[in-house]
Amino acid sequence: MARAFNIRSQPGFATIAMFCFFLLYLPIATLVVYAFNAGTSIALWEGFSLRWFVSAWNNDAIQDAALRSALVAIVAASIATVVATLAALATTRTQPYPGLSFKYALINQPLMVPEIVTAVSLLIVFSRIKVWTGYSGIGFLMAAHTAFCIPFAYLPIRGRLQGMDLTLEQAAADLYATPWRGFLHVTLPLLRPGIIAGFMLAFVISLDNVVITEFVKSGGQETLPTYMLGQLRRVVTPEINAISTIFLAFSVVIVTGFFLLSRKRN
């Protein structure tokens, strides 16, 4: 009897896979190593030191940009998660009807359209609003990040809702629970891992966004990624490596948490 085809059993699969991973992670590993370089070169090793991490920690511009990035990411991820939760409930707790697929496509539109197109569109809209209102604060940056993060929060939340057993919700309804009480005491606790995963994913996406931020931000609204981009255009020192290493470590922690919370439980 012929065996089913399995790509992992093909000759050389493991070797090719390991080679691809090596090429993928070698630049990242090089960046992390030179973050601990004692010298000012990003290509010549001059000894081990934490001087660039200390330098980044004491840099007022980096602190300001990091706090702004965190603020924008927290606000954008929070609003995006709330909107995504409502959208997921509206598109899963209903019978299929004409137009439902269009709503899926509309919600996920930022994932399908190139990010530069979204950035230019937001720039055009916000520039007119700035002219009409005279306001040019950080609210536009938060609104832009929120719009971009909604589909990233929506996907894990919707996936969690689709995998939930409706028995408990139906039992709550049979026991005369109102829709709100049923959601609050049954659906929401079961949905909490998906909501947390969606929030963390949206937070990471907002935190390291460059393209939309570069187009939408006003003067004096540098985030950490745009600050790093500006520094790369001037002088490149291992301080950028140190910032990138911290960013990488933080992202790994967030993504790991997202993976653990999104895992299908028995």
Query: Which residues have a Cβ under 8 Å from the Cβ of 236 and sit 6 or more positions away?
Result: 42
**Torsion, Cα of 45, 51, 54, 59 (10° steps):** -80
Q: What is the mean pLDDT of residues 12-29?
A: 87
Q: Is residue 161 part of a domain?
A: yes
Does the pLDDT at position 76 exceed 90?
yes
Dump pLDDT digits (tens) for 203-244. 989 988 889 999 998 878 889 888 888 887 777 788 888 888
Query: Is 13 contained in some domain?
Result: no
Mean pLDDT of 49-76: 89
On whether the CB atoms of residues 47 and 37 are closer than 8 A, the answer is yes
Q: Across the chain, what does the average pLDDT equal?
A: 84
Is pTM, for the whole model, over 0.85? no
Core vs surface per residue 198-233: b (16+ CB within 10 A) or e: bbbbbbbbbbbbebbbbbbbeeebbbbbbbbeebee
> What pLDDT does residue 266 have?
43
Q: Judge residue 165's burial from the number of C-beta atoms within 10 Å of its C-beta, 0-12 exposed, 13-18 middle, 19 or more buried.
A: exposed
Q: Is residue 255 part of a domain?
A: yes
Smallest Cα–Cα separation from 189: which of 156, 155, 164? 164
143 within some domain? yes
Count other Cβ atoms within 10 Å, centred on residue 171: 12
Tell me which residue of 193, 177, 224 sits closest to 72, measured CA to CA.
224
User: Is pLDDT above 90 for 79?
Assistant: yes
pLDDT of residue 2: 56
Q: Which residues pair with 48 in a beta bridge?
A: 37
- Tell whether the model's pLDDT for residue 168 goes beyond 50: yes
> Residue 262 above 70 pLDDT?
no
| Domain contains 31 | no
Mean pLDDT score, 77-96 = 88
Residue 19 carries which DSSP code?
H
d(CA 174, CA 168) in angstroms, rounded, equals 10
What is the pLDDT, as a whole number, of residue 5?
65
| Residue 81: other Cβ atoms inside 10 A | 28
User: What whole-number distance in Å separates Cα of residue 224 and Cα of residue 209?
Assistant: 9
| Residues pairing with 37 in the sheet | 48
Is the residue at 241 inside a domain? yes
Reported as a single tens digit per residue, the pLDDT across 180-208 is: 888 888 888 888 888 888 898 899 899 88
pLDDT at 98: 80
Residue with tokens 């290493």: 245
Residue 49 in domain: no
CA dist., res. 74 & res. 251, Å (int)? 14
User: Residue 109 sits in a domain of what CATH number?
Assistant: 1.10.3720.10
- Which residue segment(s) compose the domain that 85 sits in? 60-262
Give me the mean pLDDT over the 24-29 stretch.
88
Q: Please state, in angstroms and rounded to a whole number, the distance separating the CA atoms of residues 155 and 205.
A: 13
Task: Compute the distance between CA of residue 246 and CA of residue 33 in angstroms, rounded to an integer.
Answer: 12
Total structural domains in the chain?
Answer: 1
In this prediction, residue 159 has a pLDDT band, given cuts at 50, 70 and 90, of: confident
- Mean of the pLDDT values across residues 152-161? 88
Asked whether residue 189 is assigned to any structural domain, the reply reads yes
